[in-house]
Amino acid sequence: MESSSFEDVNRLVRSELYEHMDPEFGKYLAMNLPGCGNIIGVRLDDLKEIARQIADINWKEYLKHAPDDTLEDVVIQGLVLGFAQGKLEEILAYADEFVPKIDNWWVCDSFCSTFVAASMYPEIVWEFIMKYMGDSELNPAWRKKEEAEIPEGQGGIAVGTWQDMSDDFRLRFVAIMLKCYFVNDKYIDKCLYAFEHMQDGGYCAKDGVAFGLAESYFVFPDKTIEYIKGAQFDRQILEMTKNKIEKIYRLPEADVNRFAEVINEY
């Protein structure tokens, strides 16, 4: 990938995608991402390696001209952003253009899990994420303004296009980002409050919130239990959370039963 021409880079990327094509994995993706469109069938580790190569060359130029022809093309864009190095406001501006492309859980979760800027600049990225809460009170007021009205010193980051997204994937994006980077001593109370206020989406959003609650219970079991008892959660979300606690986090039976008792109280 030594060419500076974006046409050549795109051809090389496409060639590498087909070189790493795994038909059986492609069938798995097609089965688990109904209606997704064109799928080549490339495993995430291979996509990450391709994305790292792109990020080391000129990630901004690539993202300006990257195609959206296949599932893998879109996943690579998210991974490139995750590996990108540069000014945070530039990375977030490109992320604002990418996030509305999220229309399935694989694009969402692969992007979120590699967006290391969230670990490096949590306060700024928290505000960036909260913008995707839409009209929620958690959405920073200045993010709702037109770019021309943003106070001096806060410009340079795109205002964002959460209005263009379905509630299902907008809220899943928020939930998975919180799950990956913010379930910690500083942010756990804010995370739990956010999880309670993002229950309006469809299955993928609820599944994302369940992942967030499962992570919260894994790290802060007492705090999570107490919060849920005083909140109003969709029972389906709590059932999905219990399933993840049991089958993904593999917590001891006593911990699973403790969570189940909370559900029974609803």
pLDDT, average across residues 60-68: 93
Averaged pLDDT for residues 97-116: 96
* pTM score: 0.89
pLDDT at 1: 44
The answer to which of 23-32, 161-170, 172-181 has the lowest mean pLDDT is: 161-170
CA distance 126 to 143: 12
Looking at residue 75, its pLDDT comes to 98
Q: Which of 129-138, 190-199, 223-232, 252-261 has the lowest mean pLDDT?
A: 129-138
Interval 69-89 mean pLDDT: 96
Neighbours of 96 (CB within 10 A): 18
> If you count them, how many residues does the chain have?
266
Q: pLDDT value at position 149?
A: 44
Percentage of residues in the chain having pLDDT higher than 70: 88
Report the C-alpha gap between 165 and 153 in whole angstroms.
28
Average pLDDT over every residue of 4-28? 89
pLDDT digits (tens, 9 = 90+) for 180-203: 999 999 999 999 999 999 988 899
Q: What band does 4 get if pLDDT is binned at 50, 70 and 90?
A: low
Position 101: which residue type? K
The residues, ordered by sequence, that sit 6+ positions from 50 with a Cβ below 8 Å of its Cβ are 13, 16, 17, 20, 76
Confidence at 164, pLDDT banded by 50, 70, 90: low
Instruction: Give the tens place of pLDDT for each residue, 125-157.
Output: 999 999 898 766 777 654 454 444 434 433 344
- In the block, tokens 């492609």 appear at 26
Provide the pLDDT for residue 135. 66
Mean pLDDT of 47-75: 94
Q: How much is the pLDDT for 134?
A: 74
* 151 close to 142: Cβ distance less than 8 angstroms: yes
pLDDT at 165: 76
pLDDT band of residue 220 (cuts 50, 70, 90) is very high
What pLDDT digit, counting tens, does each position of 109-133 carry? 999 999 999 999 999 999 999 989 8
Tell me what pLDDT residue 2 has.
Answer: 44
Helices (H), the chain: 6-19, 23-32, 44-65, 71-83, 88-98, 105-114, 117-120, 122-130, 167-181, 188-196, 203-219, 221-229, 235-247, 253-264
Q: pLDDT category, 57, cuts 50, 70, 90?
A: confident
CA distance linking residue 62 with residue 60, whole number of Å: 5
**Mean pLDDT on 52-63:** 92
Task: Identify the pLDDT of residue 266.
Answer: 86
Residues in CB range of 62: below 8 A, 6 or more apart: 6, 9, 54, 80
